[in-house]
């Protein structure tokens, strides 16, 4: 081999060594600046907005499905407890779903008659309510001045009566979509209970590593335990509150005391908004029933005090601190889901917040390393 060939080989070898060294060289990490944080925040914000828009647009489908999943988780957990008595989980879930549907239909039948009566007598009831409320307002100087500067007592009553029809028409127009969403809810509930075990297995096997599968099992068990404990305990507490409300309505002379107790039980599952709606309803009922101001305010005041004592003394004593969530976060969740899905969203705000809190806590907690004996 001549000198030129040897030089060419050495040159190629040097170039190859340089390329290998360049490939193996690690580029120093660039220091993140404020613009990188802005870009990352913008991407996350756009993703959240896109998800919110999708949830809002698909509310007619996602709302009953989400409600069915929450109810199915609770019923499925109860079906697992029934398996101790020899009843298969699928059969137990379907049996509980049947009882739930019967209870739901009984609730609708119980409310249908009074709601129909109120809708038929809405103009007369509105006029009578205004006639009873105006004397109480006129007792105060600021109330009398406000009425004189606005539209007057008679005109105020006419406005209420004229707007009663459009309000009832808007409520009637939402009946058909509600029926369709109810059918979607029932179908999703039955199918979820039938395929709950297979769905759990599919989610677990979707994680390739053993640690991921164990984390999935731990999170799903924590969600089921949390929702089941919350709803079972809250149902008993709110059932007692409904009994107290029925007694309050009976002693306070309000019509249909069992219906007031049923309203109190159902509305209690909506944090903050439920007690507000129930207190105002008892106030209106008292004003329409009694002429004396003290007698008119007594039912709503008694209900509010009992609800306040139960929420601040009984519930924390029974549930402990496991289900304590920042009240501000609960309030924001209620506003968000009510804006998204209406009344059903307000009911789902607390369960969805519990699910999110459970997932966050399970991901934050690092399971201890297994220690070998000895």
Q: Are 257 and 249 in contact (CB under 8 A)?
A: yes
Q: Mean pLDDT throughout 134-145? A: 60
Q: How far apart are CA 314 and CA 251, in angstroms?
A: 24
pLDDT (tens digit, 9 = 90+) per residue, 266-283?
A: 888 877 778 888 888 888
Q: How far apart are CA 72 and CA 82, in angstroms?
A: 15
Overall pTM > 0.75: no
Tell whether the model's pLDDT for residue 16 goes beyond 70: no
pLDDT (tens digit, 9 = 90+) per residue, 66-109?
A: 998 998 888 888 888 777 777 777 777 778 888 878 877 777 77
Domain positions in the chain? 61-206, 222-363
Tell whether the model's pLDDT for residue 117 goes beyond 70: no
> Tell me, what's the pLDDT at 367?
53
3-state secondary structure of 235: helix
> Tell me, what's the pLDDT at 244?
92
Q: Where in 165-309 does DSSP place strands (E)?
A: none
> Tell me, what's the pLDDT at 361?
83
Band (pLDDT 50/70/90 cuts) for residue 341 is confident
Phi-psi region of 156 (alpha: psi -120 to 50; beta: other; left: phi over 0): alpha
pLDDT (tens digit, 9 = 90+) per residue, 146-198?
A: 555 555 545 545 555 555 555 545 554 455 577 788 888 888 888 888 888 88
Q: How far apart are CA 53 and CA 228, in angstroms?
A: 30
Q: How far apart are CA 133 and CA 127, in angstroms?
A: 10
Q: How far apart are CA 73 and CA 348, in angstroms?
A: 13
């Amino acid at each position: 081999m001549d000198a030129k060939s040897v030089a060419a080989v050495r040159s190629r070898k040097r170039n190859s060594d340089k390329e290998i060294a360049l490939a193996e060289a690690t580029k120093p990490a660039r220091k993140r600046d404020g613009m990188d944080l802005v870009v990352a925040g913008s991407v996350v914000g756009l993703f959240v907005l896109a998800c919110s828009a999708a949830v809002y647009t698909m509310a007619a489908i996602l709302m009953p499905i989400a409600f069915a999943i929450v109810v199915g988780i609770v019923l499925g957990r109860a079906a697992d407890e029934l398996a101790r008595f020899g009843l298969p989980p699928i059969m137990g879930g379907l049996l509980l779903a049947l009882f739930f549907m019967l209870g739901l239909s009984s609730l609708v039948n119980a409310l249908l008659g009074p709601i129909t009566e109120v809708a038929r007598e809405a103009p007369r009831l509105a006029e009578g309510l205004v006639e009873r409320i105006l004397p109480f307002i006129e007792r105060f100087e600021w109330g009398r001045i406000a009425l004189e500067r606005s539209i007057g007592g008679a005109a105020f009553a006419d406005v209420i009566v004229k707007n009663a029809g459009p309000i009832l028409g808007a409520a009637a127009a939402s009946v058909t979509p509600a029926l369709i969403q109810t059918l979607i809810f029932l179908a999703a509930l039955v199918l979820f209970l039938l395929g709950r075990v297979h769905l759990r297995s599919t989610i677990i096997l979707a994680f390739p590593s053993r640690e991921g599968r164990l984390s999935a099992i731990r999170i799903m068990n924590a969600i089921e335990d949390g929702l089941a404990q919350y709803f079972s305990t809250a149902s008993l507490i709110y059932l007692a509150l409904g009994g107290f409300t029925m007694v309050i309505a009976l002693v306070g002379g309000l019509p249909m005391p069992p219906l007031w107790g049923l309203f109190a039980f159902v509305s209690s599952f909506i944090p903050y908004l439920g007690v507000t709606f129930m207190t105002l309803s008892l106030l209106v009922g008292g004003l329409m029933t009694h002429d004396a101001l003290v007698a008119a305010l007594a039912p709503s005041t008694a209900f509010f005090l009992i609800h306040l004592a139960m929420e601040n003394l009984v519930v924390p004593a029974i549930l402990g601190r496991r289900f304590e969530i920042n009240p501000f976060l609960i309030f924001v969740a209620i506003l968000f889901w009510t804006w998204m899905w209406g009344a059903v969203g307000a009911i789902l705000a607390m369960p969805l917040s519990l699910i999110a809190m459970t997932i966050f806590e399970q991901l934050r907690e690092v399971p201890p390393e297994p220690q070998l004996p000895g």
